[in-house]
Amino acid sequence: MRIKGLTAAGLVLLAGAPILLLLMGRTTLAASADEEAGAVPLAAIVVPYLVGLILIRLTPPSLPALDGAPDAALRRQSRWLIGLALAFPVAAFLTRDTALYPLLKILILLVGAWVVLRRIRRPSAARAHRQRIPKLWYWLGPAIVIVVWGYLFFYSPLTGTDLSGYEDWDRAELALVALYTFLTASVLEEIFYRVILQTRLEELWGRWPAITATALLFVAMHAHRYADGAFFDITLLILTSNGALGLFAGYLWAKYRNVWALIAVHGAINGLALLPLLIG
């Protein structure tokens, strides 16, 4: 009962942030922490993710939630992984804009998770769960969702991405930054938050409690953005932009167990808009 109540509260928090922004008259927001990135229309964030969540629900297959049997090893793994997810925002805030930030990110989210899974041996339930998905829908299901979401997010009349801040960058430097971001965000964050952490929380608590908790931990990971503005404004901003991605990617993972779909979504968000500058 407590888990259900906390899940409901978390979902209200995530859904209420964009509504509150709208009531405050905030129709645009900075969806990226990069100084060069311009403001994005609020609708360009909310609508694609909302449509994406609905599509995941409606697109086959109808995969049941994980029906694992929680044991002591799973609980120990989960506690340590949640600890790492809570430690990283603190480390990120303290080392923002320094060379230590990427190093600590790799140490906490990659090395830390590897140590936990090596020291507390227990197989992930995701592999057996994935085998219940028909091979066709393992690829087609997320492809349908991502194509529709991607059109709305990048190419529909809702969008209004401003890339003028990146135009003075050297192309080679921009390519290196894009590659670094792809590896440490699109790949590393999705593997840690969704593939490793959320899977174990799903087995422990259920599908939506795990998705919601992981989305909130993913929001917390962006605490370094509090250096950019007022606490209340930044809270609403990261709850809206990062929280929406957390829910969308979390549901996508829970439904299809396709890590490539997660990497494609996160990679597109971080790099697709920069392609014209890289190849132009």
Interval 92-118: pLDDT, tens: 989 888 889 999 999 999 999 999 999
pLDDT value at residue 59: 94
What pTM does this model have? 0.92
Distance CA 71, CA 187 (A): 29
Q: Which residue has the tokens 């809270």?
A: 235
H or E element at residue 41: strand 40-41
Q: Is residue 189 a contact partner of residue 88, using CB atoms and an 8 Å limit?
A: no
> Where would I find the beta strands (DSSP E) of 10-155?
28-29, 40-41
Q: pLDDT tens, 206-258? A: 999 999 999 999 999 998 877 667 788 889 999 999 999 999 999 999 999 99
Look at residue 115 in the predicted model and tell me its pLDDT: 98
User: Would you say the C-alpha torsion 15, 53, 32, 9 has a positive or negative sign?
Assistant: positive
According to the model, what pLDDT value does residue 67 have?
72
In this prediction, residue 159 carries a pLDDT of: 79
| pLDDT value of residue 8 | 96
pLDDT score, position 229: 72
Chain-centroid distance of CA 95 in Å reads 21
Give me the pLDDT at residue 15, please.
96
**Total of domains in the chain:** 1
pLDDT confidence of residue 64 = 83
Residue with tokens 């057996």: 128
Instruction: Give me the residues of the chain with pLDDT under 70, please.
Output: 1, 31-38, 68, 160-169, 227-228, 273-280
Largest CA distance in the chain: 55
- Residue 241's domain comprises 2-279
Q: What is the pLDDT of residue 226?
A: 75
CB 97 within 8 A of CB 34: no
Give the pLDDT of residue 37. Answer: 58
Residue 224, pLDDT score: 81
